[in-house]
Amino acid sequence: MTTLEESITPAPTDPEQTIAFQGQPGAYSHMACRQAFPELFPLPCHSFEDAFAAVREGQARYAMIPVDNTVAGRVADVHHLLPKGGLHIVGEHFVRVNHQLLGVPGASLETVQVVESHVHAIGQCRNFLRRHGYRAHVVADTAGAAADIARAGDPTRAAIASRLAAEIYGLVILKSDIEDAEHNTTRFLVLSRDPRYPDPHSGPVITTFTFRVRNRPAALYKALGGFATNGVNMVKLESYVDGAFTQAEFYADIMGHPQHENVRLAMEELRFFSHSVEILGVYPADRFRERVG
């Protein structure tokens, strides 16, 4: 099946003109690629691992990977892949998630009985589904649901997906913006084979890193004390445990550049009280943060 997207956008021969994402054409990750890098060809990948591999093996210049959603929380698989994926974070991009109810031509809100989509999309539209009495059916992803609905041609089935998916698969929007939360937003990271640190004086910068501490009282408190005393704003901190539950690993985002004096001092104190500190990326903060800050 040739999609509309494929018919109007020829695949480039140069991988440097390509950006990989997980999912089928029309996924929200696809939308993020088009918004942030409209000049690059979007490369759909079956899994997050495949998207990482496409960049690592030279098939794509970047990967666009979701990490957090204001409603669903973190994308757990990605947080485990990032430290071991062999790539570097070089940017971030925020996408306001507006869910559409999509059906085949001729369908209506009255003909629909079953609504199909990713589990998070269904959860984010729970109130709408309950009001209309629709049965929810969980599938692998939003764009895949749209593709299945288009192939089936059944007016009793609908999908929750993006406007882009409606365009690609020839579906009609039966109801727009059906998400329950107005703040529904997903944060994406842009990954590259090589690090690309911005100028420390070019504007707001985020540094992302992982570190480990021993499973002992006050270990985390001591490791992070330098960020407080040096006035470094930590905007994200998440924890993991090893297989033996003997030490915790943390993923953190801070505002600041490693060349900033306060960040340098805070990182020195972190390394003194912890180990295996690894910087995953230093990159410009998206302007979305200024609008909502």
pLDDT at 264 over 70: yes
* pLDDT on residue 278: 95
Topology of the domain comprising 205-292: Alpha-Beta Plaits (3.30.70)
pLDDT at 102 over 60: yes
With beta carbons less than 8 A apart as the criterion, state whether 202 and 274 touch. no
User: In a 3-state reduction of DSSP, which class is residue 169?
Assistant: helix
In the chain, the amino acid numbered 25 is: P
Q: Do domains 4-95+185-192 and 100-175 have the same CATH topology?
A: yes
With beta carbons less than 8 A apart as the criterion, state whether 88 and 193 touch. yes
Q: What average pLDDT does range 116-143 have in this prediction?
A: 95
Out of 3.30.70.1090, 3.40.1160.10, 3.40.50.2300, 3.40.190.10, select the CATH number for domain 100-175: 3.40.190.10
Tens of pLDDT along 22-41?
Answer: 999 999 999 999 999 999 99
Q: Which of 186, 234, 240 is nearest to 76 (CA)?
A: 240
Out of 3.90.870.10, 3.40.190.10, 3.40.1710.10, 3.10.20.740, select the CATH number for domain 4-95+185-192: 3.40.190.10
Based on C-alpha coordinates, what's the Rg of the chain?
21
Give the span between the Cα atoms of 186 and 178, in whole angstroms.
Answer: 16
What are phi and psi for residue 94, nearest 5 degrees? -110, 135
Q: For residue 36, what is the enclosing H or E element?
A: helix 28-36
Give the span between the Cα atoms of 209 and 288, in whole angstroms.
Answer: 21
Query: What is the reported pTM?
Result: 0.91
* pLDDT on residue 6: 44
Catalytic pick among 188, 209, 227, 273: 188
* pLDDT on residue 101: 98
Domain boundaries, the chain: 4-95+185-192, 100-175, 205-292
The question of whether 186 is a catalytic residue gets the answer yes
What are phi and psi for residue 64, nearest 5 degrees? -105, 110
> Cβ contacts of residue 33 below 8 Å, gap of 6+?
19, 21, 40, 42, 64
Give the span between the Cα atoms of 82 and 80, in whole angstroms.
Answer: 6
pLDDT at 20 over 60: yes
With beta carbons less than 8 A apart as the criterion, state whether 211 and 272 touch. no
Catalytic pick among 3, 18, 142, 186: 186
Give the span between the Cα atoms of 231 and 236, in whole angstroms.
Answer: 15
* pLDDT on residue 12: 60
* pLDDT on residue 63: 98
Token pair for 162: 């993006």
* pLDDT on residue 7: 36
Strands 100-103 and 172-175: antiparallel
* pLDDT on residue 11: 57
